[in-house]
Structure 1
Amino acid sequence: MDRIVCMQSFVRAIELNSFSAVAREQQTTQPTISKQIAALEKQLGVQLLIRSTTNLSLTEEGKKYYQYCQQILETVAEAEASLRGKEQAIGILRLGCSVLFGQMQIVPRLKTFISRYPDVKIDLMMADYFVNIVEEGLDLCIRIGNIQDNSLISHRIGTTRRVTVATKRYFEQAGEPQTPEELVHHHCIVYTRLSTGNEWHFQGKDGIIKVQVGGQFQTNSSIAIRAAVLSDLGIAVVPVWMFGDEINRGDLKVVLSDYQPTSLPIHAVYRRSRFYPAKITCFIDFLAEEFKLDPWV
């Protein structure tokens, strides 16, 4: 029995609340994970888990052992990493980000990163909803906006400047708003995952202006926001990188330039630990370096 492998399976089973999920993550079978944890229990002479059809819960002995396992696995990782320099980043980097940001800002940069760190493999999960880093088994998430979870470490790596845009065709039909308050007379495309909902915030010369907007279309998908704007459905407040090429070509027009929508920070977010593998720190440094040179972020 490989004690370290069994400990890893035990810890992930608690974090994911599922033997099957651990099996999928490790590309093995559910019976294999079950046997590993059963082997631990036999070796220790105690029951660690109480299993039901829908849940895994720790016994008192299991709670103590779980804490020790976390410390042991961190120490092993730290010991291994101490023998490698930063250039020795290695392993699978499980990365999470929103769909359109991943498509437009992360994936196009991966070839450069992988060329620099050929021993790192990227496992990218893209979703336009709040991803639980622990439950999804992610090493790192890239998030846009303020971070509220104090259990995570966040490192600011860029800024998303936002603009108010629509197609020229829309403005020809509906006219151009001259102030944020005039948006109430327009079809506004609302991104429902924005923390402020349909209340858009602008920075004017006299302070923050808040406007309740509405329209005939709203969505929780960043891809759908982009498609809706390009199909003349209305006005949207969006990250400038979402339409950089279209703005440069003149396909879209930026309005309300004297009233800037609130910019949003870009953070790299990861779990608290005594040790952070080189694959994490290298990717954070890489993105921060890339974004510093990119006028859109």
Structure 2
Amino acid sequence: MDRLACMQSFVRAIEMNSFSAAAREQQTTQPTISKQIAALEKYLGVRLITRSTTKLNLTEEGKQYYQYCQQILETVAEAEASLEGKEKAVGTLRLGCSVLFGEMQIVPRLSLFIARYPQVKIDLMMADYFVDMVQEGLDLAIRIGNHQDKALISERIGITRRVTVASTSYFEKSGEPKTPEELTRHNCIVYTSLSTINEWHFHGKNGVIAINVKGSFQTNSSVAVRAAVLSDLGIAIAPIWMFGDDIYQGNLKVVLQDYQPVPFPIYAVYRRSRFYPAKVHCFIDFLREEFKLDPWVSDYGV
């Protein structure tokens, strides 16, 4: 029995609340995970887990053993990481980000990163919500906007500058708003994944202006927001990187230039630990340098 592998399976099964999910992450089968945990229980002579229909529950012995396993696995990983320099970044980096940001800002840069660090593989999970990093087994997440999770460490690596934008066809038909207040007379595309939902915020001469907007379409998908704007459906506030090329080509137009939407910071987020492997720090440094050169996401001088 490989006790270290069994411990890893035990910890990840509990964190993910699923033998099957732990098996998929480790590229093995659910029966293998079950056998490993059963082998641990036989070796220790105690029951570690009880199952209900929806949850894996730790016994009292299981809770104590789980804490020790976490410490042991972290110590092993720390020992391995202590031998790594930046030039020795290795392993699979499990990375999370939002869907459209991943497609437009992360994936196009991956070939350069992998060429620089050929021993690192990227496992990218994209979702338009903040995923549980422990449950999903993520090493690193790129998040846009502020968050309050004190269990995580955040490093600011850029900024999402936003614009008020619609298609030129929409403005020809409906006119252009000259002030934020005039947005209440327009069809506005609402992105429901934001905490403010239909309350849009602008920097004006006298401070922040908050406007409640409405429209015939709302969505929790940034991809759908982009498609709706390009389909002449209405006005959106969106990151300029979502539409930069379309704006330059004249398909879309930015309005309310004197009232800039409040920008959002971009953070690299990872779990608190006594250490972190080189692959994580290398990727954070890589994105920070890449974003510094890109005016749409650069935090330099802000």
TM-score bracket for the superposition, by shorter chain length: over 0.9
Alignment size in residue pairs: 297
Aligned to 1:210: 210
Give, in angstroms, the shift of residue 168 of structure 1: 1.2
User: For residues 15-40 of structure 1, what are the alpha-carbon distances to aligned partners after superposition, in whole Å with 9 as ceiling and x for unaligned?
Assistant: 01111111111111111111111111
Matched, 1:228 2:228: yes
Aligned to 2:16: 16
Map 1:124-203 to 2 at 5 A. Answer: 124-203=124-203
CA distance in 2, matches of 1:277, 1:209: 43
Map 1:79-98 to 2 at 5 A. Answer: 79-98=79-98
Q: Does the Cα contact within 8 Å between 1:166 and 1:236 map onto a contact in 2?
A: yes
In structure 2, what residue type is equivalent to 1:222?
S
CA distance in 2, matches of 1:45, 1:62: 11
In structure 1, what residue type is equivalent to 2:152?
L
SS in 2 for 1:295: coil
Aligned to 1:72: 72
User: For residues 198-256 of structure 1, what are the alpha-carbon distances to aligned partners after superposition, in whole Å with 9 as ceiling and x for unaligned?
Assistant: 00000100011111101111111111100110111111100010011111222211110
Matched, 1:263 2:297: no
CA distance in 2, matches of 1:84, 1:144: 30
In structure 2, what residue type is equivalent to 1:142?
I
CA distance in 2, matches of 1:233, 1:54: 42
Query: What TM-score does the superposition give when structure 1 sets the normalisation length?
Result: 0.98
Give, in angstroms, the shift of residue 75 of structure 1: 0.7
Aligned to 2:103: 103
Give, in angstroms, the shift of residue 130 of structure 1: 2.4
Give, in angstroms, the shift of residue 88 of structure 1: 0.7
Runs of 4+ in 1 over 6 A off after TM superposition: none
CA distance in 1, matches of 2:209, 2:199: 10
SS in 1 for 2:209: strand
Deviates more, 1:34-43 or 1:202-211: 34-43
CA distance in 1, matches of 2:27, 2:250: 48
User: For residues 91-124 of structure 1, what are the alpha-carbon distances to aligned partners after superposition, in whole Å with 9 as ceiling and x for unaligned?
Assistant: 1111111110000000000000000010111111
Give, in angstroms, the shift of residue 129 of structure 1: 2.1
SS in 1 for 2:208: strand
CA distance in 2, matches of 1:82, 1:134: 22
CA distance in 1, matches of 2:27, 2:73: 20
Deviates more, 1:53-62 or 1:181-190: 53-62
In structure 1, what residue type is equivalent to 2:15?
E
CA distance in 1, matches of 2:171, 2:259: 18
In structure 1, what residue type is equivalent to 2:293?
L
Q: Does the Cα contact within 8 Å between 1:157 and 1:287 map onto a contact in 2?
A: yes
User: For residues 154-206 of structure 1, what are the alpha-carbon distances to aligned partners after superposition, in whole Å with 9 as ceiling and x for unaligned?
Assistant: 11110000000111111111111110000001111110111101000001000
Aligned to 1:54: 54
SS in 1 for 2:150: coil
In structure 2, what residue type is equivalent to 1:61?
E
CA distance in 2, matches of 1:43, 1:272: 31
CA distance in 1, matches of 2:27, 2:268: 27
SS in 2 for 1:12: helix
CA distance in 1, matches of 2:140, 2:183: 38
Aligned to 2:300: none
The percentage of counterpart residues that share the same residue type is 78
SS in 1 for 2:243: helix
Q: Does the Cα contact within 8 Å between 1:147 and 1:154 map onto a contact in 2?
A: no
Give, in angstroms, the shift of residue 269 of structure 1: 1.0
CA distance in 1, matches of 2:286, 2:52: 44
Note the residue ranges of structure 2 that are not aligned, 5 or more in a row. Answer: 298-302
Aligned to 2:291: 291
